Homo-oligomer: A and B are copies of this chain.
Amino acid sequence: MTDEEFDSDAVVTLEQGAGGKAMRDLVSEVLTAGLPDDSLDIGREAMDDGAVVPIGDRNVVFTTDSHVVHPPFFPGGDIGRLAVSGTVNDLAVMGATDVRALSSAVVVEAGYAESDLERIADSMARTCREADAAIVTGDTKVMGHGDLDGIVVNTTGVGVADHVVGDDGLSPDDVLVSTGEVGRHGVALLAEREGIDFGTTVESDVRPINGVVDRALSVAGADITAMKDPTRMGLAGAASEMATKGGVGIELRQDRIPVPSDVKGASEMLGLNPLQIANEGIALLGVRPTAAADVLAALRSHPDGQDAAAIGKAIDDEHGRVLLDTGLGTRYLREPATEPAPRIC
């Protein structure tokens, strides 16, 4: 069989949708083939959390996500809260904490309970209020029962950034800061799906973080060199991408990474590494060393930043790699090529 014949039989796999390397390959090879991309500061080729579109004298940040999470209701959140938070957070980590408009496009299967749709809409409304954002336009489509399992919610956002922050700006010695605890979303989802009883219920961290990120930006401005939200591929995936794009290595200290004890216990039982699992309510910030103390204090002054911690730093070695200092030694922390959990967001 020639390569060409092999390619013509190729099909999309679940792994390609999980947000890791396989998906980035699919997106860059297929979906961006031949699309024009001129005059953008951060466009598709950068594969950041969104794109920067200059309009008048403003830096408009534009980002989209479709949400297919299963189950749609889970401890700590639901697909509506996830959709609004996911889009607000992608704007925020590019510096656009000022969310100007959100759109909501819902595809639902015929037979879906209107009461569930109302719960989702109410949750989107509440989450918008938390983020000081508004859904200003929308679309609804219904697919036949059997053509779709449940509901798909797309949210797209437009924000304005005074100071655009990419995920590629790390320099050696920059301090890596997490705005909060790690591992909650993925563990909450998988525990709910597997129906495992850990004695306690792990809740997802899903929340809009533009408020807490804005605290950091307002004290440190350009001293925040890079930001990313560690969603589908977890802390390991986000740190790995920041290292690759910044042309640096990253050294993390395990004892500094805030992993809550219930997440530790549950992820052990599930056989998962909490550093490789999805978060929906935190950001990773690269901060110039001189500004790190101010940024930590600013983050901790916000209700969503109480657990903020300096978890490591960028190094001028091991470019593109993430090292984890466990206290007993140092090992590579790898980005999983495929995520073990489909439909986690």
Contact = CB atoms under 8 A, between A and B. Distances in A.
Contacts of A50: 137
A332 interface: no
A93 B113 CA distance: 34
A43 B58 CA distance: 21
A213 to B, nearest CB: 19
Q: How many copies does the complex hold?
A: 2
A70 B144 CA distance: 11
A1 interface: no
A7 interface: yes
A53 B100 contact: yes
Nearest to A17: B142
A140 B16 contact: yes
Main secondary structure of the interface of A (DSSP, over half): mixed
A328 interface: no
Interface string A1-39: 000000111111111111000010011001111111110
A23 B138 CA distance: 12
**Interface residue range, chain A:** 35 or more
Given A12-B109, A103-B156, 13 more contacts: A12-B142, A14-B110, A14-B142, A14-B144, A36-B129, A38-B134, A44-B138, A53-B136, A53-B158, A56-B57, A66-B141, A68-B141, A144-B149
Which 7 A/B pairs are nearest by Cβ-Cβ distance? A17-B142, A64-B103, A51-B136, A156-B156, A56-B56, A147-B149, A34-B125
